[in-house]
Structure 1
């Protein structure tokens, strides 16, 4: 249940999704997630880092860990379902 609690927090999935193609810095992440305050982004990054889903490199750019990459793979079926659901509207 702890994983669902973490992933269910506002912006958590978006942060993970934005890292799917590689590492990005704090400001770039904030720009991609317009509307997210710096304090919320900082909190989410720390939570996801503690959960070993993301990590930062020497340049303070955030990237997915191997565990985070596995999570992105798990998004595949949900992404497919979301596409079918969107067609209903």
Structure 2
């Protein structure tokens, strides 16, 4: 294991606000943990699954650092889950627009050969990063997005999109697909018709098409 991955409590010793932010978030995997928690709480095992490149030792240390810094918190969920989960604090949630903008900036960076497949949370961030709100028009709709075992609620209203992990109480359109298909639709600009039964759309398919058309691909 790299020595710098084990270092903790490092600081730039610089009073600049950007430097103080990097004291909290500059360690490897820190922002990736924030990405995994943007749309709702997760158990430790879920974080491990979403960040397979992080060793258990490093992941545990980053979680402790982020909790100590007030970015995340740990709490016990009640029935029916009855498990300890990690979630962003209110202050931690303020990082969402920063990660969205970082995703837009990073979309122009070259893809490395070692790059793996995009996970469900990465794709939800990609939806927000690629979205051009001006293209939403008067769309007002709730979407149930099912990606394997992951379910998200996407809500569009007043030219804004919010995303949350979990089942919506009601929805206008339901979309079932695998992550490769959604990546092609969101990032590559592919059309639904290209994938046949690999993508299932129930309810208001026109609303989902309008959402896709509001994504700035390429």
Larger gyration radius, structure 1 or structure 2 = 2
Q: How many residues align?
A: 87
What SS does structure 2 have at the residue aligned with 1:84? coil
Provide structure 2 residue ranges, at least 5 long, that are not aligned to the other structure: 1-18, 77-82, 112-218
Q: Which residue of 2 aligns with 1:71?
A: 95
Provide structure 1 residue ranges, at least 5 long, that are not aligned to the other structure: none
Q: Which residue of 1 aligns with 2:44?
A: 26
- Higher RCO (CA < 8 A, seq sep 6+): 1
Aligned-residue RMSD, C-alpha: 1.6
Instruction: Select the structure that is richer in helix.
Output: 1
What SS does structure 2 have at the residue aligned with 1:63? strand
Q: Which residue of 1 aligns with 2:86?
A: 62
Residue 80 and residue 37 in structure 1: after superposition, are their counterparts in 2 closer, same or farther (change >3 A)? Answer: same
Q: What is the deviation of 1:72?
A: 1.6
Instruction: Select the structure that is richer in strand.
Output: 2
Q: What is the deviation of 1:82?
A: 1.4
| C-alpha separation in 2, matches of 1:76 and 1:29 | 20
